[in-house]
Amino acid sequence: MEIGSADKSVRATRRVGMEIRQRGQERATPSRQSRACWGRRCPRYTLMQFVANKYEYRRRLPHYQKFDRVLFVTFCTLGRAALSPEAQDVILRHCVHDRGKRYLLHAAVVMPDHVHLLLTPLRDEKGWPYSLASILKLIKGTSSHDVNKLAGRCGPLWQEESFDHVLRGHESFAEKLEYIRQNPVRRGLVSRPEDYRWLWVEGD
């Protein structure tokens, strides 16, 4: 075979291979019409996207819960918006309200844009601990409702996600408790923890 003919054969083979790959990509990649359908015209795809996004959100931060273990929890206002003193009163009241029912509350502090809790979930009538998700849903849901009512507005108050971790063997309960107590001092809001109006500590 002549060299020129061989070159033409190689180029033809490459061209056919590229066409096959392009057709495969077209099948794998949604068309513009399909993508538009996902967002507007096709409820089936919209629902699928919603479920996928919700699942992704739930997995964004890990949440671990063990039986009868102390949890250190933080949740923040949406956009880190500042809370009014009256709103902080409402939120602290809701944090303290269910202590002894669903959880043992060891300490709570309501800062201008976030909340710290130190708590131990109690067990239900079947012996299972109340989930942290259910505890926070109650606190955040009721406090958001009452703060919005107080401010004459509507909409979410809190970020959906929270930050939490289980105190491990090497971590001191007393250290976490003191961290919560000193938070207002570190922020320069008061000179002594006991002077901060929105701090609650078990036994005080």
Q: 10 lies in a domain?
A: yes
Judgement on whether residues 49 and 118 belong to the same structural domain of the protein: no
* Domain count along the chain: 2
**Residue 50 sits in the same domain as residue 110:** no
Q: Give the C-alpha separation, 102 to 138, whole Å.
A: 10
Q: Which of 158, 119, 161, 163 is nearest to 140 (CA)?
A: 158
Range with lowest mean pLDDT among 2-16, 63-77, 104-118, 178-192: 2-16
* Residue 12 structure tokens: 């033809």
Domain boundary among 12, 34, 58: 58
* Pair 102, 188 in one domain: yes
Tokens matching residue 47: 């629902």
The reply to whether 65 falls in a domain is no
Looking at the domain assignment, is residue 66 inside a domain?
no
* Beta-strand pair 71-76/163-166: antiparallel
- Is the dihedral angle over the CA atoms 183, 70, 164, 141 positive or is it negative? negative
User: How many Å apart are CA 136 and CA 16, to the nearest integer?
Assistant: 59
Q: Which residues on adjacent β-strands are paired with residue 72?
A: 118, 165
**8 Å CB contact between 102 and 121:** yes
Would you tell me how many other CB atoms lie within 10 Å of the CB of residue 70? 18
Question: Do residues 103 and 16 share a domain?
Answer: no
Model pLDDT for residues 131-176, shown as the tens digit of each residue: 999 999 999 999 999 999 999 999 999 999 999 888 876 678 999 9
**Range of 8's domain?**
3-58
* Placement of tokens 């006991």 in the chain: 194
Per-residue model confidence (pLDDT) at position 173: 92
pLDDT at 37: 35
pLDDT confidence band for 98 (50 / 70 / 90): confident
Sheet holding 71-76, edge to edge: 163-166, 71-76, 114-121, 103-110, 199-201
For the ranges 23-32, 45-54, 75-84, the one whose mean pLDDT is highest: 75-84
Q: Which two tokens stand for residue 66?
A: 């063990």
